[in-house]
Amino acid sequence: MSFLIAPLTIACLSAVLAALIAVIDRIVNNYGECQIDINNGTKVLTVKGGEPLLSLLSSEGIYLPSACGGKGSCGACKCQVETDIGPHLPTETPYLTKEEIKDKIRLSCQVKVKSDLSINIPEELFNVKQFDATVVSIKDVTYDIKEVVFDLGDETITFHSGMYIQIVVPPYDKIKGTTQRAYSMSSRPLDHNRVELLIRLVPGGIATTYVHEHLKEGDKMGLVGPFGDFRRSSTDSIMLCVAGGSGMAPFKSILHDMIDSNITHRDVWYFFGARSLRDMFYMDEMYAMAKENPWFHFVPALSEPQPEDNWTGETGLITDVLDRFIKNTIGADKDMEGYLCGSPGMINACNNVMTGNGIPLEKIYYDSFA
């Protein structure tokens, strides 16, 4: 029998240890009720501590931007935490500037609420809502971009053109838990009951694969928004807009908004780049808009036109086309502003062309996506 004593002792010790760890865990992680004071008492929430600030806020109907869904990989969920909660975490610092760290800006998805907190968020975030939307149409605008239109039912959305919204993707296939991703709205702000998005398929992308391969008309989908400060300025400067692919979305919204609001006093040049004709879309709509509105100039360009495209328009990289037009057609001496929507690389290259032609960096606005 003695050969059984050692394994039994080890098993008993393990069980006791596991129970002890569970008890300690419960004690250590039991932060009880905590109060979150938002914007100096504008709103005070009572929550159960121990969870990330981002999710506790959203469970109370306060939605901060969270393009990565709280995974600590987008840096969008910033807020100011006035209470001293210890040093910034290594998962936060890559997304914060020195000034932000000094200003006590934190990534709310990385900060756990363990005591009463005082935080500050932009006022407009009080208007962000979660919508239970219904997909009313899905259209292929290219082989890899879908135009998806959502109906908001009895709810309404108020936004300015250029803003974005987050879609809430449910678990599917091997994807556990929900995933949130941000997309610029292409719909017009006048449409308070519907939201239109342009979603390009990213190979292996959780949200885009769901939209392209699973989402159907009639399906329900959560939307959270609106967010963002990419918007048309109120100056008279000429607007130079540059986009490619699904970067079309905010400009479609901005252009329709200008027409709806009868803003005709400033010229808008829209440079839209694509590889070949199969990557181009909304051409008829843009040309028709340009025909009806003398202030709007549409310049599509192909970087790799195919023989079967029979393309007679501009060719080359969109940055080169932009540079040519500023120098030869618009005039580098004009008062201009830049509006960019695309990958960080494209935005960088456009920034160089624009600043090289005398446009100050602070007059270049952009909406960057990977």
Residues contributing to the site for ligand FES (CB under 6 A)? 66-68, 70, 72-77, 107, 109
Instruction: Pick between residue 224 and residue 255 the one whose CB is nearest to ligand FES.
Output: 224
Q: How far is the CB of 124 from ligand FES (least distance, A)?
A: 18
Q: Which residue is nearest to ligand FES (CB)?
A: 109
Instruction: Give burial (CB, 10 Å; 0-12/13-18/19+) of 16.
Output: exposed
One DSSP character per residue, 228-271 reads: ------SS-SEEEEEEEGGGHHHHHHHHHHHHHTT--SS-EEEE
Instruction: Pick between residue 68 and residue 318 the one whose CB is nearest to ligand FES.
Output: 68
Q: Rounded to whole angstroms, how far apart are CA atoms 31 and 47?
A: 10
Instruction: Pick between residue 72 and residue 273 the one whose CB is nearest to ligand FES.
Output: 72
Q: Rounded to whole angstroms, how far apart are CA atoms 112 and 48?
A: 11
Reading across the β-sheet that carries 117-120, which strands appear in turn? 43-48, 33-38, 117-120, 78-81, 105-107
Q: How far is the CB of 270 from ligand FES (least distance, A)?
A: 31
Instruction: Pick between residue 179 and residue 208 the one whose CB is nearest to ligand FES.
Output: 179
Q: How far is the CB of 265 from ligand FES (least distance, A)?
A: 39
Instruction: Pick between residue 12 and residue 89 the one whose CB is nearest to ligand FES.
Output: 89
Q: How far is the CB of 278 from ligand FES (least distance, A)?
A: 33
The strand ranges marked E within 126-187 are 129-140, 145-151, 164-169, 179-184
Instruction: Pick between residue 53 and residue 243 the one whose CB is nearest to ligand FES.
Output: 53
Q: Under 8 Å CB-to-CB from 310, ≥6 apart: which residues?
A: none
- Which residue bears the tokens 């029998």? 1
Alpha carbon 239 to its chain centroid, in Å, reads: 22
Q: How far is the CB of 95 from ligand FES (least distance, A)?
A: 6
The residue among 175, 80, 180 whose CA lies nearest residue 128 is 180
Q: How far is the CB of 105 from ligand FES (least distance, A)?
A: 12
